Amino acid sequence: MKQFPFLIVVAVLLIAGACKHKPDASPSCVAGPGGNVTIVVYAEHGGVSIPNYYTHQDTAFIKFGTTTSQGTNPANYNIYFVGSPGEDHIHCFGLKCGYYYIYRTAWDSVASVMRYGGYGFSFSETTGDKEIHVAVN
């Protein structure tokens, strides 16, 4: 009967050793430019997309490698993309898979106010379009 606790300890150690996680030497998704993904970013207020206007072309500021807000200062972001007048989204092209935070501005012509919002996300796709909806207030 004294061997029973010893066998349990040995079994636990064997299982624990088999379940160790080995970190990847080189992660396959490192956010940044140079890829084949286009992030299509919509700014929405109250569930309604806000279009870009000729007098104010909205902007999507992007930070690579994080899903956490970098604040409202554009200098805190790695890259930005400007919307085309008449479209209700911004195309952020040429990106790789990885972690991103987007800070989005949008001029609400109905209320005559600038709206802001952000969204952190990640993706593993290496080609195609990734649609993101950012709630702005």
Which pLDDT tens digit goes with each residue over 112-132?
A: 999 999 999 999 999 999 999
Residue 65: phi and psi, rounded to 5, are: 80, 15
Buried b (16+ CB within 10 A) or exposed e, 34-57: ebebbbbbbbbbeeeebbbeeeee
DSSP 77: S
pLDDT per position as a tens digit, 81-94: 999 999 999 999 99
Spell out the domains of the chain, with CATH numbers in brackets: 33-135 (2.60.40.10)
Q: What is the pTM of this model?
A: 0.79
Tokens found for residue 126: 């290496």
